[in-house]
Amino acid sequence: MRIGVFGAGNMADALATQWARAGHEVMIGARVPARAEALASRIGVRAGTLREAARFGEAVLLAVMYPGVHDVLAEVGPLEGRVLIDCTNTFANPDFAVKSPNGAKGIAAAVPGAHVVKAFNLCHESVWRRTPPEFDGRPLGVPLCGDDRGALKVVEGLVRDLGCEPLRGGGLDRAGQLEATAAFVVGLYVAGDDPATMLPPLEFAIGEPRPADSAG
Ligand X SMILES: NC(=O)c1ccc[n+]([C@@H]2O[C@H](COP(=O)([O-])OP(=O)(O)OC[C@H]3O[C@@H](n4cnc5c(N)ncnc54)[C@H](OP(=O)(O)O)[C@@H]3O)[C@@H](O)[C@H]2O)c1
Residues at the site binding ligand X, with contacts judged by CB under 6 A: 7-12, 30-32, 35, 63-68, 71-72, 87-89, 121, 124-125
Nearer to ligand X, 32 or 202 (CB): 32
Nearer to ligand X, 191 or 215 (CB): 191
Min CB(213)–ligand X separation in Å: 39
Nearer to ligand X, 67 or 207 (CB): 67
Min CB(9)–ligand X separation in Å: 2
**Which position's Cβ is nearest ligand X?**
9
Min CB(127)–ligand X separation in Å: 8
Min CB(94)–ligand X separation in Å: 15
Nearer to ligand X, 81 or 177 (CB): 177
SS3 for the chain is CEEEEECCCHHHHHHHHHHHHCCCEEEEECCCHHHHHHHHHHHCCEEECHHHHHHHCCEEEECCCHHHHHHHHHHHCCCCCCEEEECCCCCCCCCCCCCCCCHHHHHHHHCCCCEEEECCCCCCHHHHCCCCCEECCEECEEEEEECCHHHHHHHHHHHHHCCCEEEECCCHHHHHHHHHHHHHHHHHHHHCCCHHHHCCCHHHHCCCCCHHHHCC
Min CB(174)–ligand X separation in Å: 17
Nearer to ligand X, 21 or 31 (CB): 31
